[in-house]
Amino acid sequence: MPQSSYKSTPPRDPENRHTGAAPARGSAGLDDLLEIVVSKRLKKTWRVEVNFKTGERVLTIPEALADPPQEVKDSLIRWAMMPMTRRARRNAEFVNNKRKMEETIRAYMESCGVARERKSRVNPKIFDHQTKGFVYDLREIFDTLNRGYFNGEIKSYIRWGQADSRTSYQTTRVDNDGNPFHLITVSGVYDSPQVPQYAIYGLVYHEMLHIAIPPRTVNSRRVIHGRDFKAAEKKFPFYDQWIEWERENMWRLLKNAKRRVKRAKKAAKR
């Protein structure tokens, strides 16, 4: 894949908190931390990969973004350098800035004739076979939480993510008849005997809350984790314990999971 030649230092947020600001050039130079690569395979999306040990990132973009206007370049670099912590994703300013950057990038791509990626249709029944892990059965956990906290009213499919995935999320998909449905994807590293029961229950409960309390717009800002959401989170009796456990152990789980996946890939090549 060819490497993009453009470089840019986006405007820096004076507080440089969790708002998507990129670091300034200097001792922790942006050029040293971010590599931009153009991929012929990507058409409508872009992605970033992070080496959490060194802090280095690789931003892969489609050819349509190889030489965009300065504003779009800045948005791409700021987007790529955004923090990836759970705390950051809960920050309203962070979420709002991320959305604005993505809108700027997509608007430019559409002006170049690149249409937005449409949601592909899928038979949701396939996810019924992706709930049982080596340690935990997500459907059992979902049903238990649904009865205990949501009066059985949450309707969603649920599945495990890849074995070395660290991100959990809730999305809306479309079935073969064009009807939308909810899908919760749970971080694969949570399917481990090292993960206490309260932690996996806390994680699934959090994702279910995104369905029960969807994002809303307040004063032109999209609020994901508002006061009502945070209050509902506190109703889970082990919420603080789960957050503390994840803060202290997630890096170790992720490291071990990546090692297992790497060994499995090597074994498969033999």
Distance CA 6, CA 115 (A): 24
Q: Tokens 């090549």 sit at which residue?
A: 269
Q: pLDDT for 213-255, tens place per residue? A: 988 877 767 778 889 999 999 999 999 999 999 999 988 888 8
Q: Which residues contact 42 (CB under 8 A, 6 or more apart)?
A: 60, 61, 62
pLDDT score of 17 more than 70: no
Based on its alpha-carbon atoms, the radius of gyration of the chain, rounded to whole angstroms, reads 20
- How confident is the model at residue 200, as a pLDDT? 97
Q: If pLDDT is split at 50, 70 and 90, which confidence band does 15 have? A: very low
3-state secondary structure 148-203: HHCCCCCCCEEEECCCCCCCCEEEEEECCCCCEEEEEEECHHHCCCCCCHHHHHHH
- How confident is the model at residue 31, as a pLDDT? 55
- How confident is the model at residue 116, as a pLDDT? 61
3-state SS, residue 207: helix
- On the 0-12 / 13-18 / 19+ scale of CB atoms within 10 A, 95 is buried
Q: Which residues contact 92 (CB under 8 A, 6 or more apart)?
A: 221, 223, 224, 225
What does the pLDDT average to over 30-41? 80
Distance CA 106, CA 68 (A): 12
Q: What DSSP line would sit under 99-161, residue for residue?
A: HHHHHHHHHHHHHTT-PPPPPPB--GGGGGGS-B-SS-BHHHHHHHHHHHHSTT----EEEE-
Residue 65 has what DSSP assignment?
A: G
Q: Write down the mean pLDDT value for the chain.
A: 83
N-term to C-term CA, the chain: 27
Q: Count of CB atoms within 10 A of residue 49's CB?
A: 12
- On the 0-12 / 13-18 / 19+ scale of CB atoms within 10 A, 158 is buried
State which H helix or E strand residue 8 sits in.
none
- Provide the residue type at 150 as one letter: F
Q: Tokens 């949570």 sit at which residue?
A: 190
- 180-186 and 157-160: which strand pairing? parallel
pTM for this one?
0.59
